[in-house]
Amino acid sequence: MKKNWKQASAILGLLLLLLTTGGDIAASAQPAEGGIQWLTYAEGRERGEAENKKLFVVFNADWCRYCLKMEKETFRNPTVVAYVNRNFVPVSVNSDKEKSIARKFNVRGLPSTWFLSENGERIGGRPGFIPADEMLQILKFIGSGSYRSMSFQAFVKKNP
């Protein structure tokens, strides 16, 4: 009887721990290299300058259906993940929680994707859902610096 009580207490304790942490224990046990390594806006700006890398900024919200779709499809594409992590400083901004940053970028719809230079100057932005294949083209256009000398359409024709 005491043995069953100890087992039940241990299981109950584990369940309570999982409920109070929101399952964060399991999430933190996942390897970091499994996806895009998102930073806050402040962390991203600092790292962009320190590492001399452009920022890839995505505005989103928990309730946004297309934000979730982009997270599940575009941002889990292995080629997109590798390119972003290697060539950019990725920043995720929840526009409901960080309204001042969203206002600064005049975000009107979600998701909204922006690119910033190494020193924080705006390169450009695009609203709406972006599928993985198109996102990769945009990332390469910005990452290669081609945006300085040609249009996106010319880049796509030259780099099919």
CA–CA distance, 107 with 153 (Å, rounded to integer): 24
Relative to beta strand 122-127, strand 88-94 is: unpaired
Question: What pTM does this model have?
Answer: 0.78
Q: What is the pLDDT of residues 82-127, one digit of tens each?
A: 999 999 999 999 999 999 999 999 999 999 999 999 999 999 999 9
Instruction: Name the one residue in this structure whose structure tokens are 């043995």.
Output: 3
Q: Return the domain boundaries, the chain.
A: 1-30, 32-158
8 is written with which tokens?
């039940």
Top-tier CATH class for 32-158: alpha beta
| pLDDT computed for residue 160 by the predictor | 85
Cβ neighbourhood burial of 139 (10 Å; 0-12, 13-18, 19+) = buried
CA–CA distance, 23 with 30 (Å, rounded to integer): 12
* Average confidence (pLDDT) over 50-59: 98
* Average confidence (pLDDT) over 6-25: 34
3-class SS at 86? helix
Residue 74 has pLDDT above 50, yes or no: yes
User: Angle between the 132-143 and 78-87 helix axes, to the nearest 10 degrees?
Assistant: 20
3-class SS at 147? helix
Q: How many other β-carbons are positioned within 10 Å of the β-carbon of residue 27?
A: 9
| pLDDT computed for residue 33 by the predictor | 58
* Average confidence (pLDDT) over 134-148: 98
Place 32 in a pLDDT band, splitting at 50, 70 and 90: very low
